[in-house]
Amino acid sequence: MSDKRITLVGDDPELSEQILRALLERGFELEQLRALGGSGGDGEMIEIENARLRIEKADSLGLDGADAVLFYGDGELAGDLMDLVPDGVIVLDATPASSARSGTVPVVPEVNAEMIGALSASGPLALAGPATVGLAVALAPLHDAGRVRRVVTTVCFGASASGASGIERLSRQSVGLIQGQALDEEVDAEHVAFNLRPQQSDYDSAWSADEHVLAREIGAIFGPPAIEVVATGLRVPVFYGIGQSVYVETEEPLDPDEAERLLVRGRGLLVAGSTAMEGEEAAVTEETPIEAVLDLTPGPVEVAGSDAVHIARMRADPHNGNALAFWLCLDDQRKGVALNLISTLEIALRDSRG
């Protein structure tokens, strides 16, 4: 991949670092990478260890010469520049706007990699959101064996789900409250530090945007008959990561031991308490904390930096022989965005060579 010229387009510094790190780990050359950002970030650097990439102004000139363009963040820059990408360039869209396009099938390489070539030939490739990545990777082995028909999930979103502003808000509120300062409601309308809050619903429905997206993306990824998804999004006072309480109903019964065996053999998954990684891709890196491998109840802190979707507390519903409950957790920025982007990019580049 060293000869491929990749342009990053996004205004989220945390995500930029994660994506740059993943690209370099996968063998892309720093000299072939370019980063475009908004006017506020022009001239700044994305820095990881000994690698530094200068951020350039986001305009059409910055797209020239690229083999692939990766959009991420809140989607504002994607809205400005996506239509200006030259023909023949691979476009990956990991912004929230990607899955909103009518008829879009979002990509999760562990689940629907076979569609990437055809989808990239017809326009920008939509990347699934981090919560969808975690749930889809976990559902895939269960769906293949028992046909998942319904999912009820509570998704715990850390501050990173709101980008750099969400992380800054949680930090500022936490420090202030520890120091005994009252929350300034003129500055922060929402109290997130040391608190749990359900996401606000849309004006025209009882569901939040993230709840809508999760249901829509899971339905599109697995295809008809659509898996029914009932999701509740929570804002939780952690800086990074996503955790999900998941309840799954299948057409064919699966006992917890069988389900765990299926998940251990799945791609990109790690069942808590097991060091076995029998999938096609090792999901544990040298940087993965050993606690994330052995902890039977891992949370966002334990899985930070891991390449896996972590599964724990698999159990049967004593009242429904076709239902299982479990917990999953992932690093939303590394696994949910950066690795999903880079894995998709590698497949799209390979397929474009014919």
1 falls within a domain: no
Q: Residue 274 contacts by C-beta under 8 Å, 6 or more apart in sequence?
A: 260, 264, 293
If asked whether residues 211 and 138 sit together in one domain, one would say yes
Q: Residue 175 contacts by C-beta under 8 Å, 6 or more apart in sequence?
A: none
pLDDT for 41: 58
114 falls within a domain: yes
pTM for the full predicted model: 0.90
Q: What is the CATH number of the domain that holds 42?
A: 3.40.50.720
205 falls within a domain: yes
How far apart (Å, rounded) are the C-alpha atoms in residues 159 and 43?
27
Q: What is the pLDDT of residues 209-225, one digit of tens each?
A: 899 999 999 999 998 88
If asked whether residues 81 and 192 sit together in one domain, one would say no
Place of tokens 């993965």: 288
If asked whether residues 28 and 148 sit together in one domain, one would say no
223 vs 318, which has greater pLDDT? Answer: 318
Q: What is the pLDDT of residues 168-184, one digit of tens each?
A: 999 999 999 999 988 88
If asked whether residues 107 and 89 sit together in one domain, one would say yes
Q: Is the pLDDT of residue 283 over 60?
A: no
CA-nearest of 278, 283, 289, 286 to 309 is: 283
pLDDT over 70 percentage in the chain: 90
Q: Is the pLDDT of residue 208 over 70?
A: yes
If asked whether residues 80 and 206 sit together in one domain, one would say no
If asked whether residues 78 and 187 sit together in one domain, one would say no
Name the domain count of the chain. Answer: 2
pLDDT for 324: 97
In terms of C-beta density within 10 A (0-12 exposed, 13-18 middle, 19 or more buried), how is residue 3 classed? exposed
If asked whether residues 118 and 257 sit together in one domain, one would say no
Asked whether 158 and 242 are in contact (CB, 8 A), the reply is yes
How far apart (Å, rounded) are the C-alpha atoms in residues 109 and 90?
16
If asked whether residues 18 and 152 sit together in one domain, one would say no
Domain that holds residue 303: 132-332
Q: What is the pLDDT of residues 6-61, one digit of tens each?
A: 999 998 888 999 999 999 999 999 999 999 987 655 678 888 888 889 998 888 88
170 falls within a domain: yes
If asked whether residues 295 and 171 sit together in one domain, one would say yes
Q: Residue 1 contacts by C-beta under 8 Å, 6 or more apart in sequence?
A: 26, 27, 28, 29, 346, 349
Reported confidence tier of residue 281, pLDDT bands at 50, 70, 90: very low
If asked whether residues 147 and 243 sit together in one domain, one would say yes
101 falls within a domain: yes
Helix, strand or coil, per DSSP, at residue 337: helix
How far apart (Å, rounded) are the C-alpha atoms in residues 309 and 281?
12
Provide the phi-psi class of 331: left if phi over 0, else alpha when psi is between -120 and 50, else beta. Answer: beta
The token pair at 15 is 């995500």
The token pair at 82 is 């996506």
Asked whether 53 and 45 are in contact (CB, 8 A), the reply is yes
Q: Give the mean model confidence (pLDDT) for residues 318-344.
A: 96
If asked whether residues 348 and 231 sit together in one domain, one would say no
CA-nearest of 33, 54, 37, 36 to 45 is: 54
If asked whether residues 299 and 171 sit together in one domain, one would say yes
